[in-house]
Amino acid sequence: MSATKQHKVRDIFVEGPIDPDFVGESIAKHATRHDIGAHEVFLGQVRGDEVDGKPVQAIAYTAYRDMALERMTAIREEAFARWPSMTCLHVHHSLGTIKTGELCFMVLASAPHRQAAREAVAWVVDRVKSELPIFGKEILPDSTHAWKVNR
């Protein structure tokens, strides 16, 4: 992919949890590509952390959608410029209430070799977590909540 190619804005958001079957289907769609030698996948899952001694039961995700998609487009373009051999980059993030144990975030990169795919996924995950206006409200058993802070 050329570093000068402008990528279109892609909607990374899905309502509800990311279905594990979707992950497998996303990889399977690439089986006809003979220029791919590696896929790297990051899957984020809602943890059952404790807040004030109460277990998190779910996270309710919201986002400033337009701002997040604009920023994600820039991150995507920068990723293809950094790893020009990368053939595919897919990012999906949940909105809505996601229960503990369910998937909420997926990054998939494909490339001819594993190093580019691995590096790209780690870099994209860190950038999404630090730069996109996505907010998580941790839901507690007594219907109280705490705003999630990315570490």
Q: How far separated are the first and last CA of the chain, in Å rounded?
A: 32
Domain residues of the chain, as ranges? 13-147
Position 148 scores a pLDDT of 78
Position 3 scores a pLDDT of 47
Averaged pLDDT of the chain: 92
The domain defined by 13-147 carries CATH number 3.40.47.10: no
- The string of pLDDT tens digits covering residues 56-75 is 999 999 999 999 999 999 99
- The string of pLDDT tens digits covering residues 16-41 is 999 999 999 999 999 889 999 999 99
**Which residues contact residue 35 at a Cβ distance below 8 angstroms, ignoring those fewer than 6 apart?**
87, 112
In this structure, the strands spanning 103-111 and 88-99 are antiparallel
